[in-house]
Amino acid sequence: MYEKLEEVVQRFEDLSNQLLDPAVLGDRKRYAQVAKERASLEAVVNSFLKFKDVVRQIEDSELLLQDSDPEIRELAHQELLSLRQRRDELDAQIEVLLLPKDPRDEKNIIVEIRAGTGGEEAALFAANLFRMYTRFAETEGWKVEILSAHETELGGFKEIVAMISGNKVFSRLKYESGVHRVQRVPETEAQGRIHTSAVTVAILPEAEDVDVEVREEDLKIDTYRSSGAGGQHVNVTDSAIRITHIPSGVVVTCQDERSQFKNKAKAMKILRAKLLEAEREAQEREERETRRSQVGSGDRSERIRTYNFPQNRLTDHRVGLTLYQLDRIMEGEIDDMLSQVRAWFQAEALKAGRGE
């Protein structure tokens, strides 16, 4: 591994020099390509250089263990304990950085949140989850655009579909796909009994035209009059759009805009993302047949998390994570949770790579 890392450092230095070359500076396209490749190597190069520095310090401290002064030997011993721990941390960090990159990590996402079992209470929790992700997106400087929403009388959502755009959105939220279960006393419950409801979340990377081909002749497009819980969001014209992709049977609808053209554009975004995800899932099914295990398949049929409001507890069942800060999490403070989930999936990927 370390020989390969020396080559990476050499490549990084070569790219750094290219960025100073007048020929590269004068070519905007080439400059952008070189800068992008250099940026992709920077984290692993910095970690490896720190690792090498710590190894040198360990070698120096090991020499001091032979010193005739017992105080110096003791200081060297204590220093070695700290340095060896730091070396192991950097080694683990480098392993993670060398994992194959997910090409979808840089993409924007389409998030679909649907109420499952639990009726109105599930719809209200769908609205809570959407608010949680929206608040987190605000702290990250991301943009949230609602593509389609089906509201209920009490302010919940039977379904809401939104696009979240920004820096590495998919890489941060890709492990949120699955069934989210909520346990709490509904506002409509007079006897104070705890109800269990479920909401399904799907995180789909945004699909570009080059990612998936959609032929016009494969589409059946219907227009209809919007329906909803009432109020200003209900259109009075036949501007709602339903698109059926005939080969796959995938159906998407959009009625959020008053313009038929805008609704069609939004519906096409959702359709492309769904088709790309279906293609990826088909590939994963083939891979699972030839591999003993599949890490992070994103199976949306499994229950991934429980939100227990009476205990202020969140439990992620995949990674064995329990946090007693549900009130803060529902306000969008999910960075720590996302990081711990991501770290677990990375550790599983490392095990799979080592054949453990």
Global confidence as pTM: 0.65
295: Cβ contacts below 8 Å, ≥ 6 apart: 345, 348, 349, 352
Q: Give the chain's domains with CATH numbers.
A: 2-97 (1.20.58), 109-289+299-351 (3.30.70.1660)
Task: Report long-range pairs for 227-236 (Cβ below 8 Å, ≥24 apart).
Answer: 227/255, 228/150, 228/151, 228/255, 229/151, 229/152, 229/153, 230/153, 233/149, 233/151
Angle, alpha carbons 89-95-96 (nearest 5°): 95
Intra-chain end-to-end CA distance of the chain, in Å: 18
Distances, alpha carbon 329 to alpha carbons 194, 334, 342, in Å: 20, 5, 17
Task: Check residue 118 and give left, alpha or beta (phi > 0: left; psi -120 to 50: alpha).
Answer: left
Per residue of the chain (356 residues), give pLDDT as tens. 677 888 889 999 999 999 999 998 998 889 988 998 888 888 889 999 999 999 999 999 999 988 888 898 899 999 999 999 999 888 888 887 777 777 788 888 989 999 988 888 999 999 999 999 999 999 999 999 998 888 988 889 999 999 999 988 998 999 999 999 999 988 766 677 888 999 999 898 887 655 677 888 888 888 887 665 444 444 455 678 888 898 888 888 888 777 788 888 888 888 888 888 888 777 666 555 544 332 333 344 468 999 999 999 999 999 999 999 999 999 999 999 998 998 888 888 777 655 44
